[in-house]
Amino acid sequence: MEDYFSYTAKLFNPEEASQKPEALKGIRVMDFSHVIFGPIAARLLADYGAEVIKLELPFYGDLWRPATYWGKYWKHSNPIWHNITKNKYFLSVNLQLKESKELIYKMAENADVVIENFAPGTADAWGIGYEKISKINPNIIFLSCSTYGQFGPMRYFPGWDLLAQGASGVLTLNGYPDTDIYYKLPDYVGDFVPGNFAALAVLMALYYRKKTGKGQYIDMAQTEGLMRMLFNYTYHSVTKGAIGRTGNTDPTMVPASIFKTGDEKFLALACATADQFKNFAEAMGKPELASDPRFAGTLERLKPENAKALTALAVDWVRSKSCADIVKLADASGFPAAEVADDYMIANEEWRRKRGSVVLFKDDIYGNLAIAGPSAMLSGTPSRTKWLARPLGYHNRLVLKKFLGLSESDIEKLEKKKVIGTFDDRPGLKPPVYYNLSEDPIYNYGKEVKK
Amino acid sequence: MSPKEEVYTRHGGKGGDRGKILAEMMNAEGKAEVLDDILVLDVSSANFAGIIAASFLAEFGAEVVKIEPKEGDPARQITPFGVTVQGVGIPFMFEGRNKRYMTLDVKNNPDDRRIFAKLAKKAAVVIESFAPGEMDGWGIGYRQLSAENPGLIYIALSAYGQYTDQAKEFAKMPDADITSQAGSGLPAQMGAPPNEPEPYTWPLRGGMWAGWYISGLSAALGGTVALIHRQNTGQGQMVDVAGMDAYSSMVGMPATIGFTWEKARPRIGVLDFILYPYGHWKCKDGFVAIAAPRDHDFRALLKVLGLWEQEDDWRYSSDRIPDILEQAIHLHKIIEEKTLQFTGDELVRMALNYSKKSARSKWRGGGVPIVMKLMTPEEAMKNKQWHIRKAFQEVEDEKLGKYMISANFVKMSESPPRVKWVSSTIGKDNEYIREKYLND
């Protein structure tokens, strides 16, 4: 029989991913959302082959376009915006005008999914909410994303990832006990994770629609997404106590902490089971620990006083070794260990590139950019990156001609009336200065371009 | 209604009907279940990413069978401080949603492997977390099972994945939450700035299972994409989730920033890299979260807190990007001096009153400074919002008794997820499964 890893190497070969079928081909998504939470749900659908048309206001665009880390732009674009909105069609329409609504309504006739994340009630007030769209297209799957949900006394409260972390309790779990400092989870994970929950709900609705023909309305509150991930509530209802902050230690396993190694690196190490602990004790050269009555049984080992004693032993042992040595030992003996990876390591480690966890993507406009791969690899219908984010209004012509059948003269009229528009000179909205849009066949879709 | 509740209900004015209509529309009772025609086998071991992925499918109506040896999945004992109810750990109770329990020892017993293979012929999804290649070596990996059942979706969870040289070299490395967090870049972004004492400056673990929940969610999402493809074509596939990808692939920042900056970001404590003010501050009776990042939100916050004299200070009137840490920390302290003078409820009310006025004004530059009280998970459970939305549910295990879980994580008008029962008894459904799936 062929070696397993040579079999899987063929099964998952990243080189072939772009030729494989797309699970969501033919699904059309109208993405009215902005910032991260809604756009991520839409992007996940685009990654698997859906046609996602992102709607923005001319000359303003998505609030997040210019929002880059420490104000550092990359080729006049926000580097992280590429990850949030790749693979989408960028249409810029002035929602205040009647003609714009008509365009949207026409598009809604053939759409499968609509995604929005305005403050609850706003989309309805503007005539682009579920109420209106479901009359045009009764089988539509309409996703509304918000911080607290579409109903309930707090529904009108505006929110961000931070507020969802604050309202669910997530924020108060990060930090050291007996201090007065809490840390929020970084990188707006309170948007990304609920965005994945929202995409999961849309996928379920698509599956259901295929079986029954019925569309539906989906109300995703990001706070509830985060709440789904906390067993702290059950802990409280059983013990009346709280898990609280436990610093760098995971209270569900022992040892399970972030340690400093002999060569001044940081390393996470864990023993989830009795077997893993036995392997760890042997690797430490102290196999007798595995039969010590304080540590032998998993539940006994987890008791705070025993956990403390064992963690102290682990601290000393890790300090006496190099990070690489421990990782090697962990693999050879069978317990989890990993160096704390930072941005630079993640961007550059060879195995991530080979796996497709990090992809060096060559884009027609921006050139090479390292972009994260999916968090699940599919052998048959893989997620893929087809293009990066585009300047505001970049696909106006393509969307209106190809998807709505408008002619060049229709589009020129819309431009004149300022129904559609593009970018101004701000970074995040405009193309890189070196890029000549007048020669771009997609931006000028259906027009002659000179090269 | 208490004055405290009033703070959270009066904002927004009209629109009460919409809320009522939606609440009724989202009632899950009697609604259809999306996955009511599929069988899922969860044979994961000591790995909650697998258990969590199985839960999501079960909440959407799949028949999920948790398969474990007679002594039980070691995951049953992965629990905070060793707390259990009759030997069942808290996370296992929390995730014991709509599942069936069957005993098979696929690791050690070749007969049990044959029974598993027979079941897998009828399954739509298999979830496993053994060392990559191990199931294959036992003759029940994707390669063998898909030959008998080409529509099978096989979800494998591990530390480094199922392919590449790295995956082969580190195949024996088990996956755990803290190592998944560390290896995929979360702790590197959390912790005190470099001028503070150790160990606060160290990379900090996220205080929840950020690794395992992200892997579990990713597995369920990838699995559902695969189910859609199976629905369209009849074809199954393999889904490979690596713990070392979890956080970095979910948020995407580490790869792109590491590439464009050619170095790692530092840890900056309670500050944010993009937005300011965007964090939490001490107040008289606890903490408040404040988000006022846009220029007009920031100015509104200055007015609300009586700090308008700071408005023309060059240090932050035009540039609040916290790349100059001292500057950002300085402003943080100025705000804190004010927030300390008020209670959380007072600050929330002050911000709301301002926002209401500015929403009514014809001048649209008023800004919306958002202030909310920081809640612990235990406090969050008491919030009326979540009672009305049924975000928490009391459940009862036939042996372990009653307890609370968070549930109904998304509201859907036609086919919502729901928790119908919880259970945890080892081998409870052996007979049921044999009768239903193994009788031919």
Average pLDDT, stretch B136-145?
A: 98
- CATH 3.30.390.10 at A9-228+387-439, yes or no: no
- CATH number for the domain formed by residue range(s) B278-374: 3.30.1540.10
Give the model's pLDDT for residue B315.
77
Give the model's pLDDT for residue B8.
40
Whether the CB of B226 is below 8 Å from some CB of chain A: the reply is yes
Nearest Cα neighbor of A52 from A28, A82, A18 is A28
Tokens describing residue B131: 């060392």
Q: Where in chain A is the domain with CATH 3.40.50.10540?
A: 9-228+387-439
Contacts of A319 in chain B (CB under 8 A): none
Contacts of B215 in chain A (CB under 8 A): 375
Give the model's pLDDT for residue B7.
40
Average pLDDT, stretch B377-383?
A: 97
Contacts of B132 in chain A (CB under 8 A): 4-5, 8
Average pLDDT, stretch B332-353?
A: 95
Give which of B410, B413, B414 to mutate to test A binding, by max A Cβ within 10 Å: B410
Packed helices B430-437 and B110-122: angle between N→C axes, nearest 10 degrees: 60
CB distance B99 to B420 below 8 Å: no
CB distance A304 to A229 below 8 Å: no
The Cα of A278 is separated from the nearest Cα of chain B by a number of Å equal to 14
Phi-psi group of A160: left, alpha or beta (phi > 0 → left; psi -120 to 50 → alpha; rest → beta): beta
Tokens describing residue B151: 């529509």
Put simply, the answer to whether B388 touches A151 (Cβ < 8 Å) is yes
Put simply, the answer to whether B209 touches A184 (Cβ < 8 Å) is no
Contacts of B213 in chain A (CB under 8 A): 193, 229
Put simply, the answer to whether B208 touches A230 (Cβ < 8 Å) is yes
Residues 182-211, chain B, touching A (beta carbon < 8 A): 182-192, 199-200, 202-210
Residue A156 CA to residue A158 CA, distance in Å, equals: 6
pLDDT at B372 over 60: yes
Beta-carbon contacts of B114 under 8 Å, excluding residues fewer than 6 positions away, are none
Measure CB to CB from residue A251 to each of B75, B80, B166 and give the nearest one.
B80
- CATH number for the domain formed by residue range(s) A256-260+266-339: 3.30.1540.10
Put simply, the answer to whether B185 touches A341 (Cβ < 8 Å) is yes
Which position has the higher pLDDT, A321 or B328?
A: A321
Residues 34-93, chain B, touching A (beta carbon < 8 A): 34-35, 46, 56, 60, 74-75, 77-85, 87, 89-91, 93
* Sequence letter at residue A222: Q
Model confidence pLDDT, tens digit, residues B287-324:
999 999 988 899 999 999 999 998 888 777 666 788 88
Give which of A200, A202, A257, A267 to mutate to test B binding, by max B Cβ within 10 Å: A200
- Number of cross-chain residue pairs from A and B with Cβ atoms under 8 Å apart: 633
CB distance B231 to A209 below 8 Å: no
Instruction: Give the number of C-alpha atoms closer than 13 A to the C-alpha of residue A405, restricted to the C-beta side.
Output: 3
To which H or E segment does residue B190 belong?
A: none
Q: Is the peptide bond before A255 cis (omega within 30 degrees of 0)?
A: yes
Number of residues that make up chain A? 451
Give the model's pLDDT for residue B6.
40
Which position has the higher pLDDT, B36 or B17?
A: B36
Q: Where in chain A is the domain with CATH 3.30.1540.10?
A: 256-260+266-339
B42 - beta bridge partners?
A: B66, B127
Give the model's pLDDT for residue B36.
98
Tokens describing residue A76: 């006049």
Whether the CB of B29 is below 8 Å from some CB of chain A: the reply is no
pLDDT at B18 over 70: yes
Give the model's pLDDT for residue B16.
56
Average pLDDT, stretch B211-234?
A: 98
Put simply, the answer to whether B374 touches A172 (Cβ < 8 Å) is yes
Give the full edge-to-edge strand order of the sheet including A256-260.
Answer: A256-260, A266-270, A337-339
Nearest Cα neighbor of A217 from B21, B222, B97 is B21
Give the model's pLDDT for residue B3.
41
What ipTM was predicted for this assembly?
0.98
CB atoms within 10 A of CB A344: 18
Q: Determine which of A245-259, B322-336, B368-382 has the lowest per-residue pLDDT on average.
A: B322-336
Contacts of A182 in chain B (CB under 8 A): 270, 280, 287, 374
Residue spans of the domains in chain B: they are: 30-257+390-437, 278-374
Show the low-confidence residues of chain A (pLDDT under 50): none
pLDDT at B2 over 60: no
Residue B224 CA to residue B228 CA, distance in Å, equals: 6
Model confidence pLDDT, tens digit, residues B52-102:
999 999 999 999 999 999 999 999 999 999 999 999 999 999 999 999 999
To which H or E segment does residue B311 belong?
A: none
Put simply, the answer to whether A342 touches B389 (Cβ < 8 Å) is no
B40 - beta bridge partners?
A: B64, B125
Q: Token match 């540590």: residue?
A: A295
pLDDT at B4 over 50: no
Compute the C-alpha angle A177/A180/A182, nearest 5°.
Answer: 80
Nearest Cα neighbor of A239 from B79, B409, B96, B286 is B79
What CATH architecture does domain B30-257+390-437 belong to?
Answer: 3-Layer(aba) Sandwich (3.40)
The Cα of A300 is separated from the nearest Cα of chain B by a number of Å equal to 7
A188 - beta bridge partners?
A: none
Measure CB to CB from residue B375 to each of A167, A201, A217 and give the nearest one.
A167
Give the model's pLDDT for residue B10.
37
A369 - beta bridge partners?
A: A361
Give the model's pLDDT for residue B9.
40
Give the model's pLDDT for residue B362.
65
Give which of B88, B385, B394, B419 to mutate to test A binding, by max A Cβ within 10 Å: B385
Average pLDDT, stretch B165-169?
A: 98
Contacts of A269 in chain B (CB under 8 A): 178-179
Contacts of B252 in chain A (CB under 8 A): 80, 83-84, 192, 371-372
User: Alpha carbon of A220 to those of A115, A202, A216, A367: distances in Å?
Assistant: 11, 10, 13, 36
Measure CB to CB from residue B81 to each of A158, A304, A355 and give the nearest one.
A304
Residue B375 CA to residue B269 CA, distance in Å, equals: 20
